[in-house]
Structure 1
């Protein structure tokens, strides 16, 4: 059963059609609908390693986009020093979702594998992906994705 989408996400989705691609936002679309999230982009080894560790809360409609310079043979995350539950959305070089891990638990050091050939990972508050229906096949749009190969280009 899907829960109601919070009002802040509905407001973000309503402005989606008129908004241009921006480095501080991602758009997602799929057979479930569409959504826009404000994101912090982490694209260096140091910022990817830090991620959302020690963050005490993340506002609804916000997330973090992990960007790798090229598809990675294997991507895995853990929740060490992470204080809030997270959904992890793993995407290939086209921005197409390949795997979603919902409700990763704070402080859990168990490796969460994202799969092979993953180039982007979007972290959202725990439960958001499940509640909205975000799953494999969903497409993400962001300026970091090469427009020549993107499933949904800017």
Structure 2
């Protein structure tokens, strides 16, 4: 699983997340970089891209379990 920044001009960060909504890895992505940033894990179920620095600013790090007002990420993704 990998993401790149081709044609993207704003710096982003990406979190790779498992089925339990737990953040596995976080990487900074650099504008216009065409090299994929891949997860080292085979457990990735979701990827979340945000403005660079957002995860750190909000205290989110590997091991953090994410949820929305609807519940887990799995529930939130299914609820449309």
Matched residue, 2:74: 145
Post-superposition shift, 1:111?
1.3
Structure 1 unpaired stretches of 5+:
1-74, 147-154
CA RMSD of aligned residues (A): 1.9
Question: Over residues 19-64 of structure 1, what are the superposed CA-to-partner deviations in whole Å (9 max), with x where a residue is unaligned?
Answer: xxxxxxxxxxxxxxxxxxxxxxxxxxxxxxxxxxxxxxxxxxxxxx
TM-score, normalised relative to structure 1:
0.43
Q: In the TM superposition, what are the counterparts of 1:1-154 in structure 2 within 5 Å?
A: 75-102=1-28, 104-115=29-40, 116-142=42-68, 144-145=73-74
Structure 2 unpaired stretches of 5+:
76-80
Measure, in 2, the Cα distance between the counterparts of 1:126 and 1:87.
5
Measure, in 2, the Cα distance between the counterparts of 1:101 and 1:134.
12
TM-score, normalised relative to structure 2:
0.77
More strand by share: 1
Q: How many residues align?
A: 72
Higher Cα radius of gyration? 1
Q: Higher relative contact order at CA 8 Å, sep ≥6: structure 1 or structure 2?
A: 2
